[in-house]
Amino acid sequence: MSDDRETDTASESSYQLGRHKKSPSSLTNLSSSSGMTSLSSVSGSAMSVYSGDFGNLDIKGSVQFAIDYIDSLMEFHVFVAQCKDLAAADVKKQRSDPYVKTYLLPDKGKMGKKKTLVMKKTLNPVYNEILRYKIDKQSLKNQKLNLSVWHRDTFKRNSFLGEVELDLETWDWDNKQNKQLKWYPLNRRTAPVALEAENRGEMKLALQYVPDPVSGKKPATTGEVHIWVKECIDLPHLRGNHLNSFVKCTILPDTSRKSRQKTRAVGKTNNPIFNHTMVYDGFRPEDLKEACVELTVWDHHKLTNQFLGGLRIGFGTGKSYEIEVDWMDSTPAEISLWERMVNSPNTWIEDILPLRMLLIAKLTK
């Protein structure tokens, strides 16, 4: 590949392994180098709701609800009463912040999702809310109702607490008993393709590890990781063709805001070309086994950012500096790209990887 390409100005950060192996948050200390463009990340409070974590919590408990079709209104009603004995997202305090979400399948995109309010600090939330769908009865009989329970944390990330699915084609609408509130046990995700894991598009990128960069200011024992974000392909539609997308990068385990770099936003396309290179220095060879490149794609709209999909590129060992971490979860394709980069220093290694749902690491100061 040619090195005389045109790219956005690259930010550069330093990766320095600390000696505090019992404290994941202080394992690294990335800081922007002087003289480089500063690309600060958007505040975590600006993130909009997106569904994310399907595997970290045990599935337990049950949900009480009833369904009915109101002929006079031509509406399908889901009366969500309450849940009991839910899994605790906050294990220490034994509580969650749960809400209920419904979809009609397979027309999820057309009918949209409906959701209740979030109930704070409880494993037994009471909702007593009606979720309404404007749909004719014949069309409804071709649908399935998917009702799922989620925990929503302070950073507006969601963790899956279980689901129930009803086949409305075989439902006996004339049976009065079927209009009564019933308790349903919550189940693990059973659909072949998770509702929030439909195609999220792909990212074309290249990585390079430079073991001994030519610079009198940098020690020869450390190297640089270069991340060249080229473009994204077929990003999901949110508002027609009006995406305004950008890519954010973090080198885990460092979750400090100063370590985050991002591209410019590219508007009005689902196939944005970024052509942006990010550089992180201070990498010793042994650090490559412990770190993970987290790339996330976002759509910026007004004051919020909607998560579209992401990648985690590393060895996927489940551990970082001898500490078990849930973000070291790279897929085989992501692991392959990282391995090829490590094994071919001073060479750009290119790939096109599918974007996926991630539970984003919490921001720290």
pLDDT in tens, 17-67: 432 333 333 333 333 222 222 222 222 222 222 334 445 577 899 999 999
C-alpha to C-alpha distance for 263 and 37, rounded to whole angstroms = 11
Q: What pLDDT sits at residue 106?
A: 72
Tokens of 42: 């958007």
Residues 6+ apart with CB under 8 A from 67: 76, 77, 78, 79, 145, 166, 171, 178, 179
Using DSSP's 3-state secondary structure scheme, residue 220 falls into coil
Q: What pLDDT sits at residue 92?
A: 86
- Largest Cα separation within the chain, whole Å, is 81
Domains 46-185 and 201-355 share a fold: yes
C-alpha to C-alpha distance for 286 and 276, rounded to whole angstroms = 27
Q: What pLDDT sits at residue 1?
A: 39
Q: What pLDDT sits at residue 57?
A: 73
- 293, with CB counted inside 10 A (0-12, 13-18, 19+), is buried
Which residues on adjacent β-strands are paired with residue 76?
69, 133
**Residue owning tokens 């060895």:** 315
Smallest Cα–Cα separation from 289: which of 336, 342, 243, 358? 342
201-355 is a CATH 2.130.10.10 domain: no
Indicate the CATH number of 46-185 among 2.60.40.150, 1.10.10.1110, 3.20.20.110, 2.40.37.10. Answer: 2.60.40.150
**Residue owning tokens 């539970």:** 359
Q: What is the CA radius of gyration of the chain?
A: 23
Q: What pLDDT sits at residue 8?
A: 47
Q: Which residues of 94-130 are buried (b: 16+ CB within 10 A; e: fewer)?
A: ebbbbbbbbbbbeeeeebebbbbebbeeebebebebb
Per the CB < 8 A criterion, the answer to whether 89 and 96 are in contact is yes
Residue 31 main-chain phi, psi, to 5 deg: -140, 145
Detail the DSSP E strand segments found in 89-181. 98-105, 114-115, 126-134, 144-152, 157-167
Q: What pLDDT sits at residue 325?
A: 86
Name the residue ranges covered by the structural domains of the chain.
46-185, 201-355
Q: What is the pTM of this model?
A: 0.53
For the stretch 191-236, pLDDT in tens is 443 444 457 889 999 999 999 766 555 555 788 999 999 999 989 8
Low-confidence spans in the chain with pLDDT less than 70: 1-56, 107-112, 155-157, 190-198, 213-220, 238-241, 360-365
